[in-house]
Amino acid sequence: MAGMSIVVCLPGSAAGSVDEAVAEAMAPFARDGVGAVEREVWDSFRISGGSAGLPVLAGHQDDPRLIMGRPWWDGTPEPVLPGMCAGGPRGLIDFSDALRARGAEHAGRVWDQWREVASRHPAADDESVFFHRHLAAGGTHASYETSQEAAAYRAQPAVRAWAEIAPALARPDIAAHFSFDGQAIHIGRRGREEYVAKWEFSLLPERNVLTAGGWWYEPGEAPLHGACRTPADCVHAPDVDEGRPGVQSYLLALPADTLLVNVRCHV
């Protein structure tokens, strides 16, 4: 068994009964046959702040609307970390505008640089062309990296030119995706605005979220709807787009009085 955190979204009207509202929202995903959905997730939980909690917007650390973490399982009070809370109105939570701006600025620079490189060379073929050519010649997934086809992909002028300048663009303080791993030609396939939007949230923590509409989202897992027993039975449209940008955009778009509550689960 392990632990995980999830941000539970509640209407502002739940401010006077947070524990009860969280329990009601979490109930469909309980283990031991109690839950209403097929994939039972948790067997215990508590409202938690600490290092995995939510950052408070600067200047609002003493706002009485903030939610503090509940005691540990043995009754010990949870330590209060400066600038962190277990939840509160969405308008009091810091969504790290500075980090988003840094990620967006760097993504824009990368997009501009790739387009400049690509404009000076013939259009490069996607690596999948060379990979399938390798398989057609009797190669395997394992043998591709050292194959003539892989070398031919890397020898394309645009790809070779990018490999020479990409290390200077790498930012370990930004995110691993800016190392590009030979797939630079995909950068220019999106418009600049779309590419920047894709990576705007790359510096922010990847969070699980239980939406106000009862959808449970974890990275890499199919979303679960608390109102439906199985995904096959569900005819409802998910209310969050896939991936980190979708979750962050969803949280940002919520009304300012929506309560965001960080819940630590034993799963």
Q: pLDDT of 60-116, one tens digit each?
A: 999 999 999 888 888 888 887 888 899 999 999 988 766 777 788 888 888 999 999
Per the CB < 8 A criterion, the answer to whether 67 and 48 are in contact is no
Nearest residue to 125 via CA among 186, 84, 169: 186
Tell me how far apart the terminal alpha carbons of the chain are, to the nearest angstrom: 6
CA distance 239 to 250: 8
Given a contact cutoff of 8 angstroms between Cβ atoms, the answer to whether 205 and 243 are in contact is: no
pTM: 0.69
**Residue 170, both tokens:** 């790498």
pLDDT, residue 1, reads 47
Alpha carbon distance 99, 189 (integer Å): 25
How do the pLDDT tens digits run along the chain, 267 residues long? 478 889 999 999 999 999 999 999 999 998 876 666 777 788 889 999 876 788 899 899 999 999 998 888 888 888 878 888 999 999 999 887 667 777 888 888 889 999 999 999 999 998 999 999 999 999 999 999 999 999 999 999 999 998 888 888 777 666 555 544 446 778 888 889 888 877 777 766 778 999 999 999 987 788 889 988 887 888 898 888 766 667 878 888 899 999 999 999 888
